């Protein structure tokens, strides 16, 4: 187990280094001088040079990478070109919206998908199964930002149950804050829940046709008992994989959904920074999201190794 852990940790570190290199090179070496952008086309050459110096744009590529990556390791994400505030601070504030939103959506998606998938699998071929499969087929195909707009039309504009956008802030109280995240979370959760329900169902159906289920039934367990006691636990591995993968989709999907609901999260920050050519912010947010994805996948891998010792040997 220790050997496995060390090996996985090493590969985690390599992935992170390579990812940071790719992000850095993509955004830093390519054309577009932030100093020139900030000062406009009429800027004097010496003002430009001074600003470049101040923003730390003058060093060689290697120097700039090392100072950026070194800063990241110490939690120093640099200073925003446009806002002149530490990027870490800006990200920290926004994270308090994006992260709860992603977790809220993940919870909703799991809460919808598990019962739906299990129900459909246990009543295979019945009207319940056909309905679940039909609805999830639609759920996979619907663009989530359009679904979000339709929900705004129905629940915010017509029924007035929710506000159409914006975030009240955590100071307004936990329940009110969660309420303003509810429509965005549902919009994010729907496609993921559909995928998850389908995976749950097919994985459960695969497991239910295994020999050990027949044995369990032969020794007198009812269909329902066999499903809950034996099949479900064994069907969870592919489901866990998908949940891990979905976390990254939720974080990235939040970028678009935040724009539908005017939520001041990481996604809005990225878009504002792109239009202001504030590359250090874009760079840091993208790095943070990729970091999150790589670490989550690492944790999922570890979870397998704990759940299923057979997987430890494989890479």
| Interface positions with other proteins (CB under 8 A) | 15, 18-19, 22-23, 26-27, 30, 32, 137-138, 140-143, 145-146, 149-150, 152-153, 157, 202, 205-206, 248-249, 251-253, 255-256, 259-260, 270-271, 273-274, 279, 282, 286, 289-290, 293-294, 297
Per DSSP, what are the bridge partners of residue 79? 86
Tell which residue, 248, 237, 249, has the closest CA to residue 296.
Answer: 248
Q: Other C-beta atoms within 10 Å of 94: how many?
A: 20
Which C-beta is closer to other proteins: that of 181 or that of 204? 204
What own/partner pairs with CB < 8 Å and gap ≥ 24 does 35-40 have? 37/276, 37/277, 38/81, 38/82, 38/277
In angstroms, give the least distance from the CB of 173 to other proteins: 28
Which C-beta is closer to other proteins: that of 92 or that of 143? 143
Say how far apart CA 147 and CA 63 lie, in whole Å: 46
Which C-beta is closer to other proteins: that of 183 or that of 290? 290
In angstroms, give the least distance from the CB of 3 to other proteins: 19
Distances in whole angstroms, Cα of residue 218 to Cα of each of 73, 203, 234: 57, 22, 19
Residue 239 has φ and ψ, to the nearest 5°, of -65, -40
Instruction: Write out the two tokens for 267.
Output: 């996604």
DSSP 81-128: TTT-SBHHHHHHHHHHHHHHHHHHHHHHHHHHHHHHHHHHHHTTTSHH
Per DSSP, what are the bridge partners of residue 86? 79
Tell which residue, 302, 307, 273, 282, has the closest CA to residue 24.
Answer: 282
Which C-beta is closer to other proteins: that of 42 or that of 209? 209
The SS3 of residue 308 is coil
In angstroms, give the least distance from the CB of 219 to other proteins: 25
For residue 292, the Cα-to-chain-centroid distance in whole angstroms is 8
In angstroms, give the least distance from the CB of 248 to other proteins: 5
Which C-beta is closer to other proteins: that of 24 or that of 167? 24
In angstroms, give the least distance from the CB of 60 to other proteins: 20
In angstroms, give the least distance from the CB of 267 to other proteins: 9
Write out the E strands in the chain: none
Which C-beta is closer to other proteins: that of 230 or that of 268? 268
In angstroms, give the least distance from the CB of 257 to other proteins: 10
Which C-beta is closer to other proteins: that of 70 or that of 143? 143
Which C-beta is closer to other proteins: that of 67 or that of 297? 297
Say how far apart CA 195 and CA 303 lie, in whole Å: 21
In angstroms, give the least distance from the CB of 34 to other proteins: 12
């Amino acid at each position: 187990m220790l050997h496995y852990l060390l090996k996985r940790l090493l590969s985690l570190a390599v992935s992170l280094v390579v990812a940071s290199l790719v992000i850095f090179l993509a955004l830093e070496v390519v054309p577009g001088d932030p100093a020139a952008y900030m000062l406009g086309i009429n800027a004097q050459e010496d003002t430009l040079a001074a600003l470049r110096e101040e923003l730390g744009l003058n060093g060689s590529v290697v120097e700039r990478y090392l100072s950026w990556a070194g800063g990241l390791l110490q939690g120093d994400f640099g200073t925003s070109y446009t806002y002149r505030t530490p990027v870490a601070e800006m990200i920290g504030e926004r994270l308090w919206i994006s992260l709860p939103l992603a977790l809220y959506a993940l919870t909703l998606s799991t809460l919808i998908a598990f019962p739906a998938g299990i129900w459909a699998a246990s009543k295979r071929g019945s009207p319940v199964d056909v309905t679940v499969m039909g609805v999830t087929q639609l759920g996979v195909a619907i663009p989530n930002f359009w679904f979000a707009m339709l929900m705004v039309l129905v629940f915010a504009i017509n029924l007035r149950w929710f506000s159409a956008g914006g975030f009240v802030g955590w100071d307004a109280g936990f329940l009110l804050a969660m309420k303003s995240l509810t429509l965005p979370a549902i919009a994010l959760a729907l496609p993921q829940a559909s995928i998850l329900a389908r995976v749950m169902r097919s994985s459960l159906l695969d497991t239910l046709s295994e020999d050990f289920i027949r044995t369990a039934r032969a020794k007198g367990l009812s269909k329902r008992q066999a499903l809950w006691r034996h099949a479900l636990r064994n069907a969870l591995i592919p489901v866990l994989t998908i949940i891990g993968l979905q976390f990254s989709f939720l974080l990235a999907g939040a970028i678009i959904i935040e724009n539908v609901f005017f939520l001041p999260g990481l996604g809005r920050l990225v878009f504002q920074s792109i239009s202001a050519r504030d590359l250090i912010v874009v760079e840091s947010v993208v790095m943070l999201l990729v970091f999150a994805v790589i670490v989550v996948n690492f944790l999922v891998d570890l979870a397998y190794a704990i759940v299923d010792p057979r997987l430890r040997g494989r890479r």
